[in-house]
Amino acid sequence: MKTKLASLLVLTALFLASCTPNNPQPNPSPNTTITSWKFTITINGVTHRAESSSFNVNSNYCVASISNSWSIHPRIIDKTAASYISGDNGELIITIDNPSLGVNSISNCMVLGSWITDAINYSNNGYSLTLNGPMVPNSSGGLGPKIPINLTSLGSAGNGGYNNSQPVKGNYSGTLYFKSSLVPDPGFDTPVTIDINFEAVRP
């Protein structure tokens, strides 16, 4: 009797299992993550640094704007944010005409923004790449110094805004020389060291 009962229970279990509808779990949605961004900008010993794996236009960020002229925009506006590491509120705007991998021509690259203007008394007097050397051609326009940005990655577009994109990466390290006064003219006697490293998310 016990053997028959056990057999009946096994058959019932098998029957119920065969009648259970097959309900596979839905496939997980594709992984959509914001590409990490970071920057370290050091001008005359003052380092502005932030990094994160989230992008918020109302907080700190480093983003690339892609058009005929590319614009790389590292910015700090919230020192209380988790992305903040060091430095002052402000920004740098790096524009690159016709960007390509490697060192881009000094004539195609310009840096603007408060971190530059706070450190450099740069008006219409130009600058030199060497101590008391010749002025960089066309550097007396007052817009911002031109420096040869080295691009190590052009990145790639993602899906859905900044999701799953590959960052634009680049750097520069060098010294520019400005005039400490106009009268008497001392030549380009004042060094300003600039170190730039960035990984900027792109749309």
pLDDT tens digits, residue range 137-194? 888 766 788 999 999 999 988 776 666 778 999 999 999 998 888 778 888 998 999 9
**Residue 61: in which H helix or E strand, if any?**
strand 61-65
Biggest CA–CA distance in the chain, Å, is 117
Name the token pair of 66.
């892609």
Q: Specify the higher pLDDT residue, 62 or 1.
A: 62
Cα–Cα distance measured from residue 10 to residue 154, given in angstroms and rounded to the nearest whole number: 64
Query: Taking CA 120 as the corner, what is the angle to CA 118 and CA 123, rounded to the nearest 5 degrees?
Result: 110
Would you say 63 and 49 are in contact if contact means Cβ atoms under 8 Å apart?
no
| Confidence bin at 47 (pLDDT 50/70/90) | very high
Q: What is the CB-side half-sphere exposure of residue 149 using CA atoms within 13 A?
A: 30
| Confidence bin at 20 (pLDDT 50/70/90) | very low
Ramachandran assignment for 67, one of left (phi > 0), alpha (psi -120 to 50 degrees), beta (any other): beta
Is the link from the previous residue into 184 a cis peptide, with omega within 30 of 0? Answer: yes
Would you say 196 and 172 are in contact if contact means Cβ atoms under 8 Å apart?
yes
Cα–Cα distance measured from residue 118 to residue 177, given in angstroms and rounded to the nearest whole number: 15
pTM recorded for the entire structure: 0.78
Number of Cβ within a 10 Å radius of residue 137: 10
Average pLDDT value for the chain: 82
Report the Cα–Cα distance between both ends of the chain, in Å, rounded: 73
Domain spans, the chain? 33-200
Question: Which strands sit side by side in the sheet containing 168-178, from one edge to the other?
Answer: 84-86, 46-52, 37-43, 190-200, 168-178, 150-153, 102-103
Ramachandran assignment for 68, one of left (phi > 0), alpha (psi -120 to 50 degrees), beta (any other): alpha
